[in-house]
Chains A and B, each alone.
Chain A
Amino acid sequence: MAKTVTLLLALVGTPLFIVISALALLSYHGVGIDPSVVIIEMTRLADTPLLISLPLFIFAGTLLSESGTPTRILKLSHLFLGWLPGGLAVMSLSVCAVFTAFTGASGVTIVALGGILLPALIKDGYSDRFSLGLITSSGSLGLLFPPSLALILYGVVAEVRIDHLFLAGVIPGFLMLLMLSSYAVKSGAQAARPRKTELSDISSILRETMWEIPLPFIIIIGIYGGFLVAGEAAAVTALYVIVVEVFIYRDVSLRQLPDIMGRSMVLFGGILIILAASMASTNYFIDQQIPSKLFDIIKTYIDSKYTFLILLNVFLLIVGAFLDIFSALVLIVPLILPIAAGYDINPIHLGIIFLTNLQIGYCTPPVGLNLFLASYRFERPILQLYRASLPFLGLLLITLALITYFPWLSLALIDWLG
């Protein structure tokens, strides 16, 4: 009874960590275990490797989104992609991907970049529907590229190597980008003329962005060159972003830093406390052998790994449309991981499937978060956004099928470089 009331309260906006903690407290109380066990489980967080990279990357992402970086990345992408037919659309996709990789799929991309990109696309001759669909579906594109917070959080929860996850996301991420870009080029060829860039523009844009261009390379070369582990790369990124944005570009003043740091820690705290609460509830589930019981039930109906993967995709798409990515990861991964292991699915491959589904779930009607954000940001009816995002959704689903059934796409780079 108490558990049912708790679950009902979850639906009407009770903070998720309160709901999970309440369930954990009730469950332990039900089997006569002291409630302090809930806190003992939470102390395990201190020993979670690479947890430190979360606040640092969140802070770097928040600071970047507050600075002039979005506008400068746009100019830079225009330089490289402006010559393509459909160049502006491809550029929008690429910029959104890079931006989401750094800031996480918290809706910042649509809010920060959508306002600049949507009018630009429409002015360039793209249809209203195409432009809206593109911005809505690219709001969470880039979730598979390093240093995406979602990848790090999956690594923390599933206890797999984060540098391997970073590698695993690269080919699937590019595949998604390629699919959407091809569609954009095809539509763009009819809609918009490629633009020419003057030589003087090239040097001025390169000069303007010279401090931001090295950022992805610091992370990639730092980690894969063996100079830094992921947590250290996060610290170097945070310090670099402070120096560049506060002291070199001066987009953000020193006075604004405490507020930005406060907002970053609010997001980190929100994730950490759900993680803490779920450690307590997950341990209860494992003690009660719930994942293995679930596996036994599923196994009686589903023999094939591939049928399981189809059902997993459907389940995760629904989860992605209802839950935000961080709570979905923390709540569902511990349950799914042992079941997937029973079907011999590699945990890294599972992570990429998981995140691809959650990313698509963000723009899946009826309640995908990106649809609501875009509806709010661009003041359009939600039904118009459902229609606009359908072709993009279709392409993303094809990519999902490829990523799910060809594990090679996720594992090749690890075999090669890892």
Chain B
Amino acid sequence: MNTKRQHWSAQLKSASARIETLEQYLVTLILTLIILLATLQIGLRWSGFGGIPWIDPLLKYCVLWGGFFGAVLATARSQHISLDAVDYLIPEKIKPGLKLITLCFSTVVAAFLFRAALLFLQSEMEFGGSSLFGFPFWIWYLVFPLAFGMICIHFTISALLVLLDKEVEAGKQSFSGTR
């Protein structure tokens, strides 16, 4: 039973690492694009060509996509800004349980945000106009459901890992205890 849990834990960790690598490539690509486009625009303006009109609106969307996928990556790496004002008061013994509760809560809230993003997108598809390069607005705002969906997945994986690793750990302890 314990080996099965270890297997699932390893599978989840490897899947999570693969998703994280893809997300890292995406944010790196977006940041590179932001630096190149922004400096190209300045170069063009300074050299008297006046700049390209679509660069500034595209940069706005790049910042939005880059930022939200940065937040997805922060979730994958458990590096979100949080208050841990009472962290040092909490006994070590109950910390894993508390972590599981906060992760489950975060998963539920992220799921509600995902749903809100889908509702928003639906109304944009019905009533929204068109934006940069003639694409409808909702294409540019796809980042919201995508990011909140991925955030929800990462929180779920982290919660499952806490659960699996905690039981593996407990199994090891009881095993060493009975030995």
Cβ A42 vs Cβ B38 within 8 A: no
Closest chain B residue, CB of each to CB of A322? B85
B1 contacts the other chain (CB 8 A) = no
If A16-B83, A270-B81, A272-B67 touch, whether A262 touches B109 (CB-CB below 8 Å) is: no
If A47-B60, A51-B63, A326-B81 touch, whether A12 touches B102 (CB-CB below 8 Å) is: yes
Contact of A268 among B67, B112, B123, B140 (CB under 8 A): B67
CB of A319, distance to nearest CB on chain B (Å): 11
Q: In the bound complex, how far is the Cα of B42 from the Cα of A36, in angstroms?
A: 37
If A13-B99, A46-B60, A270-B80 touch, whether A265 touches B35 (CB-CB below 8 Å) is: no
B28 contacts the other chain (CB 8 A) = yes
Cβ B34 vs Cβ A55 within 8 A: yes
Q: In the bound complex, how far is the Cα of B37 from the Cα of A236, in angstroms?
A: 11
Q: In the bound complex, how far is the Cα of B86 from the Cα of A257, in angstroms?
A: 36
Q: In the bound complex, how far is the Cα of B72 from the Cα of A22, in angstroms?
A: 17
Which residues on A sit within 8 Å (CB–CB) of B112? 22, 25, 35
CB of A30, distance to nearest CB on chain B (Å): 14
Q: In the bound complex, how far is the Cα of B119 from the Cα of A38, in angstroms?
A: 11
CB of B19, distance to nearest CB on chain A (Å): 13
Which residues on A sit within 8 Å (CB–CB) of B85? 11, 322, 367
Which residues on B sit within 8 Å (CB–CB) of A55? 31, 34, 63, 66-67, 70
If A261-B28, A265-B31 touch, whether A273 touches B82 (CB-CB below 8 Å) is: no
Interface size on B, residues (CB 8 A): 59
Q: What sequence of 0s and 1s flags, for each residue 115-134 of chain A, a beta carbon within 8 Å of any chain B beta carbon?
A: 00000000000000000000
Q: In the bound complex, how far is the Cα of B90 from the Cα of A38, in angstroms?
A: 33
Contact of A46 among B32, B64, B80 (CB under 8 A): B64
Q: Which of A25, A36, A47 has the most CB of B within 10 A?
A: A36
Cβ A21 vs Cβ B70 within 8 A: no
Task: Identify whether the interface residues of A are mostly helix, strand, loop, or mixed.
Answer: helix
Q: In the bound complex, how far is the Cα of B123 from the Cα of A79, in angstroms?
A: 63
B74 contacts the other chain (CB 8 A) = yes
A93 contacts the other chain (CB 8 A) = no
Q: In the bound complex, how far is the Cα of B49 from the Cα of A99, in angstroms?
A: 36
Cβ B105 vs Cβ A13 within 8 A: no
B39 contacts the other chain (CB 8 A) = yes
Closest chain A residue, CB of each to CB of B116? A35
B117 contacts the other chain (CB 8 A) = yes
B120 contacts the other chain (CB 8 A) = yes
Contact of B38 among A34, A36, A52, A242 (CB under 8 A): A52
Q: Which of B46, B59, B116 has the most CB of A within 10 A?
A: B116
Q: In the bound complex, how far is the Cα of B35 from the Cα of A52, in angstroms?
A: 10
Which residues on A sit within 8 Å (CB–CB) of B28? 257-258, 261-262, 265
If A25-B113, A55-B66, A269-B68 touch, whether A39 touches B120 (CB-CB below 8 Å) is: yes
Interface residues on A, range: 35 or more
Cβ B115 vs Cβ A35 within 8 A: yes
Q: In the bound complex, how far is the Cα of B24 from the Cα of A261, in angstroms?
A: 8
Cβ A261 vs Cβ B31 within 8 A: yes
Q: In the bound complex, how far is the Cα of B99 from the Cα of A56, in angstroms?
A: 33
Cβ B102 vs Cβ A36 within 8 A: no
CB of A34, distance to nearest CB on chain B (Å): 7
Cβ A270 vs Cβ B79 within 8 A: yes
Cβ A13 vs Cβ B117 within 8 A: no
Q: What sequence of 0s and 1s flags, for each residue 244-274 of chain A, a beta carbon within 8 Å of any chain B beta carbon?
A: 0000000000000111011011111111111
Contact of A18 among B25, B41, B105, B140 (CB under 8 A): B105
A-B contacts, 22 of them at CB < 8 A, read: A9-B102, A12-B102, A13-B82, A14-B82, A15-B75, A15-B106, A36-B116, A36-B117, A42-B144, A55-B67, A56-B34, A56-B35, A59-B31, A231-B38, A232-B38, A235-B35, A239-B35, A266-B27, A270-B81, A272-B68, A273-B74, A276-B68
Question: Which chain B residues have a beta carbon within 8 Å of chain A's beta carbons?
Answer: 24-25, 27-28, 30-32, 34-35, 38-39, 41-42, 46, 59-61, 63-64, 66-75, 77, 79-87, 90, 98-99, 101-102, 105-106, 109-110, 112-113, 115-117, 119-120, 123, 140-141, 144
